[in-house]
Structure 1
């Protein structure tokens, strides 16, 4: 494949999403710690926030897996020029990497939607 560098060029965008998701995780973790430290503890909201933290963790794992597939695809494409690997393998691995990344995006959309609902409930009860 002549465009073996294509999967590698997607990595900075995925890394940016990974960084922003990491920042979301840190902020949510701090929010949970602050909420647990307060006197009137609402176990339902804390449980929902912990589920959100798990969803963000799943998202980060999906992003890391996507990065792995894209790096492998780029390496195989670069090596394939000299070792004569089939182009289809690289294309399939790139597609898998993109699909896994899209699954991570779906998790972030779900997180955002749930986060709004949790905050509405949190401020309604306070």
Structure 2
């Protein structure tokens, strides 16, 4: 395997890390806002769901950092150990780690839609009562 192949994947992983970090910051700010403006127990349920989402994002972000490190390690191993298949095994593990991180992000996105829908339906009911 050529040493530069895993290194060329790094910008894509970097974009995922940046996106995930931005989502984590936005979600953390939203949780803080909801907690400071808490009006009822229902909002606490929404906050609890969002905290679980924040945990999922944190796990995905951590896996993406691991994936980036493994891509770099795979490239280095390809140069230093060109006679062995060690670099290929690192790359396989790295692809699996990246896949797990992407699965967490897909789960996050799917659940975020349901949380938003529930939150907006609750707000709509409050507006209709007023």
Compute the TM-score of the two structures, normalised by the length of structure 1.
0.91
Gaps of 5+ in 2: 124-130
Distance in 2, matches of 1:70 and 1:120, equals 38
The offset of 1:65, in angstroms, is 0.9
Partner residue in 2 for 1:52: 53
Q: Which residue of 2 aligns with 1:29?
A: 28
Structure-to-structure mapping, 1:105-120, within 5 angstroms: 105-120=102-117
Contact 2:38-2:44 within 8 A present in 1 as well: no
Residue 123 of structure 1 deviates from its aligned partner by: 1.1
Q: Contact between 2:74 and 2:88, CA under 8 Å: does it hold in 1? A: yes
Q: Deviations over 1:17-69 (max 9, x none)?
A: 00000000011011111111114142111100000000000000110111111
In structure 1, runs of 5+ residues without a counterpart are none
Supply the distance in 2 between the matched residues of 1:116 and 1:37 (Cα, whole angstroms): 23
**Paired residue total:** 121
In the alignment, the residues of structure 1 paired with residue 47 and residue 27 of structure 2 have an alpha-carbon distance, to the nearest angstrom, of 11
The yes-or-no answer on 1:97 pairing with 2:94 is yes
Instruction: Say which SS state the counterpart of residue 40 (structure 1) adopts.
Output: coil
Structure 1: how far apart are the matches of 2:97 and 2:113? 25
Aligned-partner Cα distance in 2 for 1:80–1:37: 55
- Give the distance between the partners of 2:38 and 2:58, measured in 1 at CA: 28
In structure 1, distance between residues paired with 2:66 and 2:87: 16
After TM superposition, the runs of 4+ consecutive aligned structure 1 residues lying more than 4 A away are none
Q: Secondary structure at the match of 2:81?
A: helix
Q: Is residue 75 of structure 1 aligned with residue 72 of structure 2?
A: no
